[in-house]
Amino acid sequence: MLHRGATIGILGGGQLGRMMAMSAAQLGFRCIGYAPEGDTVAEQVSDDFFANRWDDTAALAAFAAQCDVVTWEFENVPVATAAAVPKDRMFPHPRALETAQDRLAEKRFIEGLGGRPAAYARIDSRSDLDAAVDRLGAPGILKTRRDGYDGKGQWRITSSRDADGLNFPDVPLIYEGFVEFEAEFSVILVRGQDGEIRFWDSACNSHVDGVLSTSSLPAGALIEGQVDEARTLARRVADALGYVGVLTLEFFATREGPIFNEMAPRVHNSGHWTLEGAVTSQFENHIRAVAGLPLGETRTVARAVTMTNIIGKDIATSQGHLAAPDTHLHDYGKAEVRAGRKMGHVTRLER
């Protein structure tokens, strides 16, 4: 258990790290960030910040030496970077990054635990894609196996002819068959160092152009009827990884039950509602877990909650949301405004 005034290191400098650092300060901890130069908004609320390359071993060693524990806020932190931190101070274990960073490895891992991902095929060539479309059908989604989020690194394939005009990327790919789903939802859990697991309520997620737009509770009867099965898989994943901290699994709610979509080994956008809508937020519970503290209660405190992302130029008028009752604005402090970029979020509660 970390002592008051201990230092928590965070790999990554985005809004998730920013909100983690704010929760850490509330619990009496210092935070030091580490990320390559850029619009690192976590730096604004950190006690110190290392703006160095992921492969700068000297800087990483200096960073780790100042930290009592280290975590991450971004699933694309290189595994080698996380592995450079002494194992007894790195939470979660880097194996979680290694599993989640390759979509093919992730789906095979999920299948090994009894989960059901969308039908998929490994793609290493144009002929592989043609064969996958023939076998799995179309429409489907061609994705890079590594990197890519918020709709990036993805191409919708409606027939094999779609690939004719595609500048076929020279990276490992995966083709996923189309899933007929009624809704999308997330299972978000926190697992402590002692193996205790707690779940937040699952929200119904709506996306626009591949980016999460809203997460809302209650999620509806369809999702609520599939949450138990999805939680069973999420618990298996967390236990298999020896996970410590907040872990998110995304699902499609279908007529045949929950279909696994992807895993995020971190706090998650669809859990931002927990800042005001739960007894203990995902950010505070992540800090509690990596610090070895008792986990907080995850119960929802309102009759209904809606979290809406503020995208791009909409941040300019975001303060107008505050005229509504029981509404909470979170501006991430990003200097550069561009289309599709998450600039903040707003949460509305109905008591």
Share of the chain above pLDDT 70, in %: 97
Residue 126 within any structural domain of the chain = yes
Q: Are residues 206 and 341 in the same domain?
A: yes
Confidence of residue 210 (pLDDT cuts 50, 70, 90): confident
Q: Are residues 20 and 85 in the same domain?
A: yes
Q: Are residues 32 and 124 in the same domain?
A: no
Q: Are residues 173 and 187 in the same domain?
A: no
Q: Are residues 38 and 147 in the same domain?
A: no
Q: Are residues 55 and 143 in the same domain?
A: no
Q: Is 70 helix (H, G, I), strand (E, B) or coil?
A: strand
Which of 177, 196, 219 represents a domain boundary (last residue)?
177
Measure the CA–CA gap between 50 and 83, rounded to whole angstroms: 17
Confidence of residue 8 (pLDDT cuts 50, 70, 90): very high
Measure the CA–CA gap between 119 and 129, rounded to whole angstroms: 14
Q: Are residues 83 and 210 in the same domain?
A: no
Give the single-character DSSP code of 42. Answer: G
Quote the Cα angle for 27-33-37, to 5°: 155
Q: Are 313 and 337 in contact (CB under 8 A)?
A: yes
Q: Are residues 24 and 128 in the same domain?
A: no
List the CATH number of the domain containing 261: 3.30.470.20
Q: Are residues 55 and 125 in the same domain?
A: no
pLDDT at 164: 67
The maximal CA–CA distance of the chain, rounded, in angstroms, is: 61
Residue 273 within any structural domain of the chain = yes
CA atoms within 13 A on the CB side of 95: 11
Q: Are residues 14 and 147 in the same domain?
A: no
Q: What is the pLDDT of residues 140-197, one digit of tens each?
A: 999 999 876 555 678 888 876 766 667 777 788 999 999 999 999 999 999 999 999 9
Q: What is the pLDDT of residues 280-305, one digit of tens each?
A: 999 999 999 999 999 999 999 999 99
Q: Are 267 and 261 in contact (CB under 8 A)?
A: no
Give the single-character DSSP code of 43. Answer: G
Tokens of 228: 């138990």
What is the domain range of residue 44? 7-90
- Count of the separate structural domains present in the chain: 3
List the CATH number of the domain containing 46: 3.40.50.20
Q: What is the pLDDT of residues 326-335, one digit of tens each?
A: 999 999 999 9
List the CATH number of the domain containing 145: 3.30.1490.20
Measure the CA–CA gap between 110 and 96, rounded to whole angstroms: 12
